[in-house]
Amino acid sequence: MHKFVIKGGQPLKGRVRISGSKNASLPIIFASILTERAVIENVPDLRDTRTAISLLMDMGFDARFSKNKLEVVRTGNVKTEADYELVRTMRASVLTLGPLLARFGKARVSLPGGCAIGARPVDLHLKALSRLGAEIKIEHGYINAVAPDGLKGAEVVFDFPTVGGTENLLMAAVLAKGKTVIRNAAKEPEIVDLARSLKKAGACIEGEGTDTIEVVGTDSIGEIEYAVMPDRIEAGTFIACVAAAGGEIVIEEFPGDTLEAVVDKFREAGVSVEKLGDGVVSVKRDGRLRGTDITTEVYPGFPTDMQAQFMAAMCLAEGVSVIRETIFENRFQHVLELQRLGADIKIDGNTAVVRGVDRLIGAKVMATDLRASASLVVAGLAAENTTEIYRIYHLERGYENLDRKLSELGAEIKKEKSEKPY
Ligand code: EPZ
């Protein structure tokens, strides 16, 4: 087990390049199931992307991954199963369901358990795939799905614009017979990236990025060759780091206008974010931050994946910040740990009230989930003395070389072996 040791108080300075998007890579990696060969570039080297690749190899695909380039080739028979062990480590494995059903007419995928941030059911995924003709049974913790006559296009209205549900349905519809209309679809940029990768391979998709996506199924699609978009949540996390630690950095490979809600809120709080060119922005904080309220929403609202990092930055702001989490039911695990650093935060249901304090003091803290661990890094950079963050395997699921990138910006952060059994 490893921990991060951060000596806070160093303002950040320099340039950082954002890696490819985890949440765009995962569905595009699983879209490889739909075709004979896929070459995907700018795939971040993370625990989660490596889990996805292991899952494809376990199914019988040949996969080679080096220097952020992944090549997946179908070599022979495919085991249309995603077993518990792999799904347990990464819930997004449920995104194999749509492609397996569409390509092979059957799938046996372990039900993903809940996770630290909530129950995270997949009922909307299953309801949508049933609308395309899949016969789905839940047995012994597995989703057993068959589509003996293949999937047939249909109109599907999501009760909630689920990101994963939209991705699963989109990949299934690409090879379904006839037309599928997805209403109340999620509009996240990662879905647009998935659609672009499929369209490049010959899929007929319109409307991605809006709440209505239309797909005309084809018998097959060609090879996928695609470079994944930059990770907008990593970019937002670096803005939070500057907001907390101060200084001035330049972010390269900034993902265009996919972070407007986050940039607006940090500007409101007193951080300056200036566009220097295509995909290049400068981020600077010199004065004290002002307390700023956020409510997490589906895209293009403030993303839930930036809530914890924003909260960490607001702990030292002047005044009060009211933070409402509306997407997940239990996404305040980071509050208890931030309080250990001296933060003044009160939780009332899905709302956290942060009262800015003059200083945070380093302490030993525990990561509980991916974005909670990022928020502890943000706070540790601003805290006096030393902060030790245990269980950083949570963080390494979704951030590529974060400690190295921050060290290159002048932060005093080191990854060390943990002296504890965690
Ligand atoms: C994706 O999760 C992301 N993960 C999450 O990022 C992100 O927080 C989330 O979208 C929201 O933007 C990946 O892309 C791999 P949802 P997903 O389906 O697809 C409920 C990170 O930190 N729901 O939009 O699981 C669900 O419980 C991760 O990188 C149902 O009730 O999100 C939740 O409350 C964390 N039934 C809400 O909808 C369903 O069938 C949003 O879930 C599906 C979802």
Output b/e per residue, 113-133; b: 16+ Cβ within 10 A.
eebbbeebebebbbbbbebbb
**Which is the closest atom of ligand 1 to the Cα of 186?**
24
Give the residue whose CA is nearest to atom 17 of ligand 1.
164
Q: Give the Cα-Cα-Cα angle 318, 321, 325 (nearest 5 degrees).
A: 155
**Ligand 1 interacting residues, C-beta cut-off 6 A:** 22-23, 26, 92, 118, 120-125, 160, 162-165, 186, 304-305, 327-328, 370-371, 398
Q: Which atom number of ligand 1 is nearest to the Cα of residue 369?
A: 22
Burial class (CB in 10 A: 0-12, 13-18, 19+), 191: buried
Task: Please give the radius of gyration of the chain, using alpha carbons only, rounded to the nearest integer.
Answer: 21
Cα of 13 vs centre of ligand 1, distance in Å, is: 34
Residue nearest to atom 44 of ligand 1 (CA): 162
CA-188 nearest atom, ligand 1: 12
In single-letter form, the type of residue at position 225 comes to: E
Q: How far is the CA of 347 from the centre of ligand 1 (A)?
A: 22
φ, ψ dihedrals at 203, nearest 5°:
-75, 150
Going from the Cα of 295 to the center of ligand 1, the distance in angstroms, rounded, reads 16
Count of all residues that appear for the chain in the document: 422
Which of 115, 204, 241, 315 is labelled catalytic?
115
Handedness of CA 378, 384, 389, 392 (dihedral sign): positive
CA atoms of 231 and 268, how far apart (whole Å): 23
Q: Catalytic: 315?
A: no
Residue by residue, pLDDT tens for the chain (422 residues) are 999 999 999 999 999 999 999 999 999 999 999 999 999 999 999 999 999 999 999 999 999 999 999 999 999 999 999 988 888 889 899 999 999 999 999 999 999 866 778 877 899 999 999 999 999 999 999 999 999 899 999 999 999 999 999 999 999 999 999 999 999 999 999 999 999 999 999 999 999 999 999 999 999 999 999 999 999 999 999 999 999 999 999 999 999 899 999 999 999 999 999 999 999 999 999 799 999 999 999 999 999 999 999 999 999 999 999 999 999 999 999 999 999 999 999 999 999 999 999 999 999 999 999 999 999 999 999 999 999 999 999 999 999 999 999 999 999 999 999 998 88
Sheet with 37-41: strands ordered across: 61-66, 69-74, 37-41, 224-227
Query: What domains sit in the chain, N to C, each tagged with a CATH number?
Result: 2-18+230-417 (3.65.10.10), 22-227 (3.65.10.10)
Pocket test for ligand 1, best of 28, 89, 120, 400 (most atoms within 8 A of CB): 120
